[in-house]
């Protein structure tokens, strides 16, 4: 009986050791997102409500109130992060673990004083980049995480009844130029469809596709390519 007991105990210890070893190994290979929340003007820390969740389904979610954040990015998934603080415009970003360095994705988030896009004065010729606009990879389908930023554009146009804008679509310069041009056109068409579905006249929203012909950066890095993939809004009339 004693021999059987010790054999069983040894087996249980071996199993436990294997399981804990795999768990530790899994934790060691996780990517962590972290950064500070600061005032864009003063560079001082701002205490804010920070909400993050995995994309595209949001099955992993967390909320904290602090002037900095840190959380694990499970299953190599992208995450959206929304930062809200009284007296500042809401900031929203997508965090991609592919852009991490040494399993850390460091992103400081600057908050701009004001209540949002709708209350700002816009001049003819002004160009605004829709930084928080998220599409499915290689497609024109808008992620629902982008709706709040597009709703700010809708509010801006409703408050400025004579405003006419042009949506300008850009991809990075990699890949097939014709395919990039087609994708950038499909994306600005999708944005226009969303805006006009909220009651804005189609005549007030123009579109133009650039493909990869007007990059912001020629650096061959993931961050540069991400920067080049964008939709910009140009004020044509106000």
119 closest CA partner among 85, 159, 148 = 159
CATH code: domain of residue 163: 3.30.1330.60
Q: What is the mean pLDDT of residues 92-98?
A: 85
Looking at the structure, do residues 148 and 191 belong to the same domain, yes or no? yes
Structural domain contains residue 39: yes
Looking at the structure, do residues 127 and 193 belong to the same domain, yes or no? yes
Weakest mean pLDDT among 17-26, 36-45, 82-91, 104-113: 17-26
Determine the Cα–Cα distance for residues 184 and 80; give it in Å rounded to an integer. Answer: 22
Decide which of 66, 84, 115 is a domain's last residue: 115
Decide which of 115, 150, 174 is a domain's last residue: 115
Does position 93 have pLDDT exceeding 80, yes or no?
yes
**pLDDT value for 180:** 92
The mean predicted confidence, pLDDT, of the chain is 81
SS (H, E, C) the chain: CHHHHHHHHHHHHHHHHHHHHHHHHHHHCCEEEEEEEEECCCCCECCEEEEEEECCCCCCEEEEEECEEEEEEHHHCCEEEEEECCCECCEEEEECHHHCECCEEECCEEECECCCHHHCCCCCCCEEECCCCCECCCCCCECHHHHHHHHHHHHHHHHCCCCEEEEEEECCCCCCHHHHHHHHHHHHHHHHHHHHHCCCCHHHEEEEEEECCCCCCCCCCHHHHHHHCEEEEEEEEC
Looking at the structure, do residues 121 and 159 belong to the same domain, yes or no? yes
- pTM equals 0.53
Determine the Cα–Cα distance for residues 152 and 227; give it in Å rounded to an integer. Answer: 21
Structural domain contains residue 24: no
Looking at the structure, do residues 167 and 219 belong to the same domain, yes or no? yes
- The tens digit of pLDDT for each residue in 9-62 reads 444 444 444 333 444 434 467 889 999 999 988 899 999 889 888 887 767 888
The sign of the torsion formed by the CA atoms of 197, 201, 204, 208 equals: positive
Weakest mean pLDDT among 1-15, 55-69, 168-182, 198-212: 1-15
**pLDDT value for 165:** 95
Structural domain contains residue 3: no
Looking at the structure, do residues 107 and 72 belong to the same domain, yes or no? yes
Structural domain contains residue 13: no
Decide which of 81, 97, 115 is a domain's last residue: 115
Looking at the structure, do residues 129 and 74 belong to the same domain, yes or no? no
Structural domain contains residue 186: yes
Domain count, the chain: 2
- The tens digit of pLDDT for each residue in 69-78 reads 999 988 888 8
CATH code: domain of residue 105: 2.60.40.1120
Looking at the structure, do residues 215 and 173 belong to the same domain, yes or no? yes
**pLDDT value for 114:** 64
Looking at the structure, do residues 62 and 166 belong to the same domain, yes or no? no
Looking at the structure, do residues 111 and 122 belong to the same domain, yes or no? no
Structural domain contains residue 223: yes
Looking at the structure, do residues 122 and 155 belong to the same domain, yes or no? yes
Residues 6+ apart with CB under 8 A from 223: 99
**pLDDT value for 201:** 96
Looking at the structure, do residues 122 and 174 belong to the same domain, yes or no? yes
Looking at the structure, do residues 127 and 237 belong to the same domain, yes or no? yes
Structural domain contains residue 10: no
Range of the domain at 107: 31-115
Structural domain contains residue 70: yes
């Amino acid at each position: 009986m004693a021999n059987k007991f010790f054999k069983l105990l040894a087996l249980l210890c071996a199993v436990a050791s294997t399981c804990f070893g795999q768990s530790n190994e899994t934790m060691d290979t996780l990517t962590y997102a972290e950064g500070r929340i600061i005032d864009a003007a003063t560079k001082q820390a701002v205490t804010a409500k920070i909400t993050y969740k995995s994309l595209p389904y949001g099955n992993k979610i967390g909320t904290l109130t602090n002037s900095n954040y840190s959380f694990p990015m499970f299953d190599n998934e992208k995450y959206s992060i929304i930062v809200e603080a009284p007296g500042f415009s809401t900031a929203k970003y997508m965090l991609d673990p592919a852009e991490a360095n040494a399993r850390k994705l460091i992103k400081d988030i600057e908050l701009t004083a004001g209540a949002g896009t709708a209350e700002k004065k816009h001049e003819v010729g002004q160009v605004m980049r829709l930084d928080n606009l998220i599409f499915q990879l290689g497609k024109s389908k808008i992620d629902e995480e982008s709706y709040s930023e597009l709703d700010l554009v809708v509010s801006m146009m409703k408050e400025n009844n004579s405003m006419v804008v042009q949506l300008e679509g850009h991809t990075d310069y990699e890949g097939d130029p014709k395919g990039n041009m087609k994708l950038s056109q499909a994306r600005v068409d999708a944005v226009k469809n969303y805006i006009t579905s909220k009651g804005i006249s189609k005549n007030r929203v123009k579109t133009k596709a650039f493909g990869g012909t007007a990059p912001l950066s020629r650096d061959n890095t993931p961050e540069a390519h991400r920067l080049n993939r964008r939709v910009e809004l140009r004020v044509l009339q106000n």
